[in-house]
Structure 1
Amino acid sequence: MPITRRRLITISAALAILPATARASARETTRQWTGQALGARASIRLDHPDGGAIAARVMAEIDRLEDILSLYRPQSALSRLNRDGSLATPPFELLECLSLAGAVHRASGGRFDPTVQPLWALWAEAAAGGTRPAARTVETVRRKTGFTKVELDAAAITLRPGMALTLNGIGQGYVADRVAALLEAEGLSDILVDTGELRALGGRPDGENWPVRLETGERLSLRQRALATSAPLGTTFDQAGRDGHILDPATGMPAVSAWRSISVSAPSAAIADALATAACLMPEPEAIRRMLGHFEGARLEAGA
């Protein structure tokens, strides 16, 4: 499964340097580009006279981040780490993403764990053959997981034998954060980045908040926040749709969740992404709120 499960990535932004009354006259600068990013079709809409060059820089940044974070580029930093078991002088972005993941791992009591990748591969391989992995095999692989076993510092990242990492529960949000920061540095505001998780800086160019409809059907407005939604059965290993892609690190099994979907908002899309994933493994809203309490500004928006 690629970093993104979405078929379309959309990015919209407007000039920050123009006063609101002047933005209407700048609409002739609106340009839209399409391309590929994170394994999905991408659409970028910018209200800026230099929009073409900025869009190219956005696409280049996403491509650069994939070279660091993707499981599906053989020479990415993450792929080399998983293959070799260690990575000297790892890129800052990989260290930062894993540090954020570690914070959510601790706050969630270990429910969010990037080391479940060998378990994910086991379930995916069995599903491809039309079966489920044997319980004994699941337990053998599970014993090799555990984020506390990862040695992480600026000099090197080191994994124990048999371990591997995935950033599928945080990578989409992290990329959204980085793209939003790039656009803001270019002098744009009123930004909405959708990489599968939403990151809003400001509101819409007309002054309103960004309207969002959740998978539960509820509606909310987004301004200066990120929103992430996770669904245990949103992606499944089996054709029958019973074995979801969110695995419980405590058992090695697909999550038996009380939720069809969970939506979490936070100032950071990476944090919202990881928190929403972890929340799917928590049976009670109060447990989710205790976890969210470790992160300033994080809140549960919907759960069903």
Structure 2
Amino acid sequence: MRVLVTGGSGLVGKAIQHVVEKEGRGKEEEWIFLSSKDANLMSMDETQKVFRKYQPSHVIHLAAMVGGLYKNMKFNLDFLRNNMYINENVLHAAHEVGVVKVVSCLSTCIFPDKTTYPIDEKMIHNGPPHESNFGYAYAKRMIDVQNRAYFQQHKRCYTAVIPTNVFGPHDNFSIEDGHVLPGLIHKAYIAKKEGEPLVVWGSGTPKRQFIYSLDLARLFLWVLREYPEVDPIILSVGEENEVSIKEAADAVVHALDFKGDVVYDTSKADGQLKKTASNAKLCSYRPDFYFTPFQQALKETCDWFVANYDTARK
């Protein structure tokens, strides 16, 4: 079993590498973690070359153009085109070299904007996604379509996981382009250092389910090794663990021991107010899975960011 991980230097890739190295790999497993330095996956030629070089039997596909709300709103076309190129090239190259299982990474933002809650795996294609990130959402939805087509035509077991908001060490802590939690961590760090107020973009009312990257990594390995379906599976904490952006900001303030004022800039967009996801399918397979408590995971992430501030992506 030779596992090739695309996007291996990112948030989830680093978490998978940590879990594989620290918590044990399976018997006769070889792991290869690719970064953008190894191949430009928007190029079919470069993608085919790297797959022919390593001849993987299994693939975890994480590589993507990603960003937070405001970057998505500004570059919907780029998110659509670049991710469609990457996904098409990776899945085609995997099929060419005989990869028996691919696990791709989707996102809860691909679900319809107008929907009932909680959302589940059968609702992905029930309507248009939120207008703020329709480019990324449609590109990711197509992975599910392609997986079904590869199974129908070639009996390939290509599947996908749908994590909720992921955070942890090695995240992109960019204030302008990153996701909400790492952006808040970086802003709070700077505000504390400079004695300024922490400015939170938006009203603080939207709610999200956050999953710690190390928990997600453990679930990724279970999906790779044991999950039998082509249909995707949501990987998330339960609905009862949903956190508002204000609660997340308060948790960051506590974790970094920030003593200043917290101000909400309501001139900034909130994005989707909620995208509550059901983890019932996951619980039916893994009722015993233990999720790291949010406060503990956030403290570990903040501690990592402070310790690695000079080299962290930001």
**TM-score normalised over the length of structure 1:** 0.31
As a proportion of its length, which structure holds more strand? 1
**TM-score normalised over the length of structure 2:** 0.30
